[in-house]
Structure 1
Amino acid sequence: MQTPSRYLNFFIAAFVSVYFPSVAATNLPEAYQPCATCHGENAEGNSTLSSPAIAGMEAWYITRQLNNFKKDRRGTKPADTYGAQMIAVSKPLSDKTIEELASALSHLEKIKPKQAKAGDPEAGKKYYFSNCASCHAVNGRGNASLKAPSLLGLDEAYLTRQLMHFRKGLRGTHRHDVAGRRMAIMAQILTDDNAVEDTVAFILSLNHR
C-alpha cells in the first residue's frame, strides 16, 4: 500500500497548477503550466521538490524522456518516486504537445548549477574521461548522433540520483530504452558512492569553465 507522503509533492504541485495558473513563464506555451509548479517558472528547477532545471535541454532529449515516461519505459520502479510523478503528468500529453514543450524549453538559456558539495573533481576527471567523454564530449555538451545529451545545467542532487538509478537498476532497464540501457551498463563502472560523487563533482565543474 502506498504511503500518503509518497506523492505529497506531486499533489501540492497539481493543486498549485489548478489554482495558480499564471505560474508558467510568458515565453513558454500554456502546456508548460503543470510543469512550472515543480520545474520553476522559467524551467530553472526547484531543489526543494528535487526537480531539475530543464531550461536549455536539447529538444530531442526532452522528447525522448517524456515519451519514455508516457510509455512506461522510465519511472515504473517503486523506488523511483519522482519518476512515478513524471509518468502521471506525461500520460495525457499528445505528440504535438510534447514537441511544442521540447522546442520551447530547448530555446531557453541553461541554468548554471552550483559547484558540488561532495566529491573530488580531480578524481572524477579520471572517471569522466575514461568512461563518459566518448559519448557526452570532453566539455560535457553531449553528442546528438550518439543520443548522448549535454550534462551541463544539471544540479548535483539530480546527477547523483540518476547515476545511482542507473547503477541500481531503477533506470535503463526497459528493452525499448536503448540509450538508457547503455547508460545502465556504463554506470556499473562507478563501483561505489564515492566514484559517483567524484564524477558528478567533475561534471559540475565543467559548467564553470
Structure 2
Amino acid sequence: MNAARITFVAVSVLALTTLARAEGELPIPADEFVYCTVCHGVQLMGNPTIEAPRLSGMESWYVENQLRAFRKGWRGKHEMDLIGMEMQPMAAALSDEQVKEVSAFVSTTRSDAPPSTIDGDADKGRTHYSTCAACHGVRGEGNIALGSPALTGLNDWYLVTQLRNFRDGTRGSHAGDTYGMQMRASTRLLPDDEAIQDVVTYISTLQEQ
C-alpha cells in the first residue's frame, strides 16, 4: 500500500470515528462493516480514485465466495495484483460469521448505477459477448448454478482490470480456484486489450436495457 492510500484510509477511519462520536452511531454497525465503507463508500458505490469497485447489490453468494477466496490466498497473493493485495488482509481478518454478514450487507445495499468510462465498440463487443453469455446470461444476469455473477451494475473500469488480470494470470491461477481458472481460460478468447474494452462497453449497455 503506497503512502497516498495509507493516508486516505487513516483519514477516512478518523472521519468515521469522529462522525460516530458526534452523532452517537454510524449509519452501519461499526464493528462489522466500517472497513468496507472506508474504501467502497457508505452506499458501496465504489471509489475509482483508489480502484475500489462498486459492490452494492452484488449477489451475497458471490461476495461470500470471493471473500473466502481472498482468505484462502486464491486472490490477492499474486505480486502483480496490488489492489488485491490490499483487499486480502481485510478479508482474512473476517470470521466465517462476519463473511456471511458482510455478504448480506453488500447484497441489500443500493446505490446509483455507475457511469460509463470505457469508450469501446459495443457492436464488436456484442460478438465477443456471445461466449460470455453461456455462463453469465444473455443480459448479464449471472447464473448461480455455474458460479457466474451478474455483470450489470459493475464498474466498467473494474471489469476491464479483472479481465486483464484473468488473461495475464494475475487472477485465476490458483489450483483451488476452480471458477477463476475457468474464467481465465475464457479470457483467452479475447485477443487483445481492444477486444476487452469492446466487450465491456457492450456489457455496459445491458444495464441500460
Output the TM-score relative to the length of structure 2.
Answer: 0.90
CA deviation digits over 1:103-147, x for unaligned, max 9?
A: 111112354122343210110000001x10010000101000110
CA deviation digits over 1:81-108, x for unaligned, max 9?
A: 1000001211110000010010111112
Distance between the aligned counterparts of 1:186 and 1:25, measured in 2?
Answer: 42
Task: Say whether the 8 Å CA contact 2:44–2:111 is kept in structure 1.
Answer: no
Query: Shift of the alpha carbon at 1:157?
Result: 1.1
CA deviation digits over 1:14-53, x for unaligned, max 9?
A: 4522552348972566411011111011111011111111
Partner residue of 1:79?
Answer: 80
Partner residue of 1:156?
Answer: 156
Partner residue of 2:173?
Answer: 173
Partner residue of 2:194?
Answer: 194
> Which amino acid letter does the alignment assign opposite residue 12 of structure 1?
F
Distance between the aligned counterparts of 2:175 and 2:83, measured in 1?
Answer: 21
Most deviating of 150-159 and 22-31 = 22-31
Matches within 5 A, 1:17-96: 17-18=13-14, 20-21=16-17, 22=19, 26-27=27-28, 30-96=31-97
Distance between the aligned counterparts of 1:80 and 1:111, measured in 2?
Answer: 28
SS at match of 1:20: helix
Task: Say whether the 8 Å CA contact 1:25–1:42 is kept in structure 2.
Answer: no
Partner residue of 2:9?
Answer: 13
> Which amino acid letter does the alignment assign opposite residue 125 of structure 1?
R
Task: Say whether the 8 Å CA contact 2:163–2:196 is kept in structure 1.
Answer: yes
Two-structure CA RMSD over aligned residues (Å): 2.0
Partner residue of 2:103?
Answer: 102
Q: Percent identity?
A: 33
* Cα distance change of structure 1 residues 168 and 137 upon mapping to structure 2, 3 Å threshold: same
> Which amino acid letter does the alignment assign opposite residue 16 of structure 2?
F
> Which amino acid letter does the alignment assign opposite residue 9 of structure 2?
A
SS at match of 1:208: coil
Gaps of 5+ in 1: none
SS at match of 1:38: helix
Task: Say whether the 8 Å CA contact 1:28–1:105 is kept in structure 2.
Answer: no
* Cα distance change of structure 1 residues 202 and 28 upon mapping to structure 2, 3 Å threshold: farther
> Which amino acid letter does the alignment assign opposite residue 69 of structure 2?
N
Partner residue of 2:207?
Answer: 207
Query: Shift of the alpha carbon at 1:11?
Result: 5.4
Gaps of 5+ in 2: none
> Which amino acid letter does the alignment assign opposite residue 97 of structure 1?
Q
Task: Say whether the 8 Å CA contact 1:10–1:85 is kept in structure 2.
Answer: no
Distance between the aligned counterparts of 2:112 and 2:179, measured in 1?
Answer: 24
Distance between the aligned counterparts of 1:115 and 1:181, measured in 2?
Answer: 28
Output the TM-score relative to the length of structure 1.
Answer: 0.90
> Which amino acid letter does the alignment assign opposite residue 187 of structure 2?
A
Query: Shift of the alpha carbon at 1:54?
Result: 0.4
Task: Say whether the 8 Å CA contact 1:175–1:181 is kept in structure 2.
Answer: yes
